[in-house]
Amino acid sequence: MDAIQNILAAIVVLGLLITFHEFGHFWVARRCGVKVLRFSVGFGKPLWSRFDRHGTEYAIAAIPLGGYVKMLDEREGEVSPEELPRAFNRQSVGKRIAIVAAGPLANFLLALVVYWALFVAGTTAVAPVVGTVAPDSPAARGGLAAGQEIVAVQGEDTPTWEAVNLRLLSAIGTRQPLHIETRDADQGGPAQRHSVPVDRWLVGQDPPQPLETLGVTPWRPATPAVLGKVLDDGAAAGAGLASGDRIVAVDGRAIDGWTAFVEAVRAHPGQAMTLTVARDGQTREVSLTPAVHEQDGERIGYIGAGVAPVSWPDAYRREIRYGPLAAVGQAVSRTTEMTVLTLDSIRKMLLGLISPSNLSGPITIARIAGDTARSGLESFVSFMAYLSISLGVLNLLPIPVLDGGHLLYYLIEAARGRPVSEAAQAAGLRIGMALVGTLMLMALYFDLMRL
């Protein structure tokens, strides 16, 4: 079921992003007087198509991993004399630059609009309060302690754990100490400044684990061993357990929280357990035999039940909401921040500071899309905004076959007053196709390794 949800979520995300990207090309081409022959979402044989009054074909094709806008062009077929002024290759270099750049810019615009909507609607996030600090970790050597709230990293405010992670990730490769500011979560007071010693921060990690490497575990409220969702076909349901049941003991040993119960279940694959269960003020004993689940070559127990959600104290929650005008500035700031982070990640990957195994392909995108969709609308659209930015950045890279490669040719043409030769463009096309194909194969390989 999760696999189907992942595929559907990926189709929705990629379909929206591709459509918006190609619409950018299409809209500007029309305004520049260029005739558009086909607007296709997907590659391959069209599953559906129709024509408008301008003669443009709109199609949805079988392979939903891209799309294209086909324009009238003498290089791709014969053009009648009366339609030559509407051919793409006959347009000024300025118009061609505008048409090619419109696709990636549409992706940045989509991200900006999504972030604006999220900031206006408002979000509730968890305050970055430290739960524990590992002994002799960078955080411990820097003086961080349990109960402190991280208010800034590298001079940038961090109202949420997401912000903390982004600031730590942006520092990948640094040999300089991390500058972290904290304050007491319960009593407030002035910020304390910490210099956390690191060396080649997060270099070579796959994937990077900033909090674990720092030695910090986020604070969480106590989680009692109370069942939340119980799957109908799982071992828990088969044993008569239901949502709201509290596990008091396992085989006569008291259970002090959800983590202890999970550890007991994992340790008994295919082995009967006697649970002491509290329900409606009464306790009873239940026999439960966890199913066997393979994980990393190890047999673990699995019962098909989740934990009941716990409420966070108001002091540990952060409401992030802005008015319509203030949200514009915040959306621009977030879009810019994620764009810079993406470009910096590409730079560090080329320098060897980030492992190429962090490349993600369609399988990882589908998995993350499914996970965020199950987490809620906010997580799903936030992921879509970040993916839209990534698509915009990647398409602007100066690689032939990508929009950035075409822009490079047109900028050279504008500078020298004549177009790049056909032979040079053909050679660039072959190199670009080889490079993009290699990257796609690498991303798919790493996707499969993650499975």
Catalytic residues: 22
Q: How far is CA 128 from CA 161, 162, 266, 302, 322, in A?
A: 5, 9, 30, 31, 20
C-beta of residue 37 within 8 angstroms of C-beta of residue 3: no
Give the residue carrying structure tokens 């839209």. 388
Indicate the length of the chain as a whole number.
Answer: 451
Those residues whose C-beta lies under 8 Å from the C-beta of residue 442, and which sit 6 or more positions away, are 356, 359
Distance, CA of 101 to CA of 419 (rounded, Å): 18
Catalogue the long-range contacts made by 392-395 (C-beta closer than 8 Å, 24 or more residues apart).
392/21, 392/104, 392/105, 392/106, 392/107, 392/108, 392/111, 392/339, 393/104, 393/339, 393/342, 393/343, 393/346, 395/21, 395/103, 395/104, 395/107
Distance CA 429, CA 438 (A): 14
What are φ and ψ of residue 159, in 5° steps? Answer: -75, -15
Query: Torsion angle of alpha carbons 391, 392, 396, 402, nearest 10°?
Result: 50
Q: Read off the tokens for 170.
A: 């942006």
The answer to whether the beta carbons of residues 288 and 278 sit under 8 Å apart is no
Torsion angle, alpha carbons of 238, 242, 245, 250, to 10: 10
